Amino acid sequence: TPQMTAGDVMTAPVLTCGEDDSVAKVSKILERRGITGMPVVSSKASTGGGGSNGEGVLVGIVTVHELRRATANKINPAKPVTSVMVKRDRLSSVTTEMSVREIEELLIADDVGRLPILSADGSGRVEGILTRTDLLRQRAFYKSLHYHNKGFSNSLADRQAWLKLRNKLKQFDIN
């Protein structure tokens, strides 16, 4: 049987924030969406920050851990998220073609809960995100869960309706 890849199990499109977004804005987005982290992409390539669909080039990742540390250290919440994020050079590089087994080893070795998935073309563009939960969904623990991490659809054509809906809902994002 062919080995599953990151592209098979990642969540896509992924919610990202721009490098110029404030610590306060990113904190509100994470809280509102009920997520614990997201990739930070270059503002030049970002499609609006705080609610882009992974269109930008990865510059880092921010999690609730960094945001809590920033709050504890009394970092000005108006500062850009780049002042608290984990920079790209400290992240393991993962592409859509990497095997799930290799990714599991990275998650354990790096002791992280998520890895941004980059385009296999070397552009650094964020294609998706893979979390420990995404991996668990693929295992027997979640046999009855029929969520495919692709907007509830396997085919790209079927995902278009979900993507249009997500874009319409962006108007309600926190600025």
For the chain, percent of residues with pLDDT exceeding 90? 38
Rounded average pLDDT over 143-172? 57
Question: What's the helix, strand, coil split of the chain in %, to 5?
Answer: 40, 20, 40
pLDDT digits (tens, 9 = 90+) for 59-87: 999 999 999 999 999 999 999 999 999 99
pLDDT tops 60 at residue 155: no
| Span 4-55, pLDDT tens digits | 888 888 888 889 999 999 999 999 999 999 889 999 999 765 444 444 444 6
| pLDDT at residue 50 in the model | 45
Q: Note the pTM of the prediction, 2 decimals.
A: 0.73
Which stretch of 3-17, 32-46, 139-153, 160-174 has the lowest confidence by average pLDDT? Answer: 139-153
Query: Which tokens in the block code for residue 24?
Result: 């306060």
131 near 113, Cβ under 8 Å?
Answer: yes
Distance CA(137)–CA(174), nearest Å, equals: 29
